[in-house]
């Protein structure tokens, strides 16, 4: 259990299970429902996102004792959106950030799929609707919904 917990804390929450002969394989994603509060380890860089804490190095986001683990691609996309918070980030910029080595092969559809995954992870900790679609341009991280009359989900 301790080994599994340490692997999850490193942001590796997807596993492929196979039989010894390699005949059966199952892809599993493990999600922690209840977890202790995130404490920043020495040297870790925690970023504040509304009333949540994001640790891009470990791939975790926590808000009100709920935690979600992010994939490597989700981390890179969220880091790019945080860096340009409040401004529209173009599709091209996000593709360059999310897939630094495979840019020409990545489509806008794949970007949309990964942003859907990222939105779902953020919603699981109560941060629904913080990633906005900017039609014809790209996406924007908007964590000030109270100013526009909206509220963060509880």
Does the pTM exceed 0.85?
no
Taking a C-beta distance cutoff of 8 angstroms, is the pair 61, 54 a contact?
A: yes
In the chain the domains, ranked by start, together with CATH numbers, are 2-148 (1.10.10.10)
Q: What confidence score (pLDDT) does residue 64 get? A: 85
Strands 66-69 and 89-90, sheet pairing: unpaired
Q: What confidence score (pLDDT) does residue 50 get? A: 80
Q: Residue 108: which pLDDT band, with cuts at 50, 70 and 90?
A: confident
Q: Mind listing the pLDDT tens digit for each residue in 112-127?
A: 899 999 999 999 988 8
- The pair of structure tokens assigned to 113 is 């799929």
Q: Mind listing the pLDDT tens digit for each residue in 34-84?
A: 444 445 445 456 778 788 888 888 888 888 888 889 899 899 999 999 888
**CA 4, chain centre distance (Å):** 20
Q: Is the pLDDT of residue 32 over 90?
A: no
């Amino acid at each position: 259990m301790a080994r599994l917990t340490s692997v999850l804390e490193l942001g590796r929450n997807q596993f492929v299970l196979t039989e010894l002969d390699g005949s059966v394989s199952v892809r599993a994603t493990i999600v922690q429902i209840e977890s202790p509060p995130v404490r920043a380890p020495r040297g870790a860089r925690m970023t504040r996102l509304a009333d949540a804490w994001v640790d891009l190095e470990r791939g975790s986001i926590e808000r009100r004792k709920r935690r979600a683990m992010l994939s490597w691609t989700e981390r890179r996309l969220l880091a790019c959106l945080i860096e340009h918070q409040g401004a529209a980030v173009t599709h091209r910029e996000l593709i360059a950030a999310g897939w630094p080595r495979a840019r020409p092969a990545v489509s806008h559809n794949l970007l949309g799929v990964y942003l859907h995954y990222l939105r779902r992870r953020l919603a699981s900790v109560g941060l629904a609707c913080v990633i906005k679609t900017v039609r014809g341009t790209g996406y924007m991280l908007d964590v000030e919904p109270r100013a526009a009359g909206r509220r963060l989900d509880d």
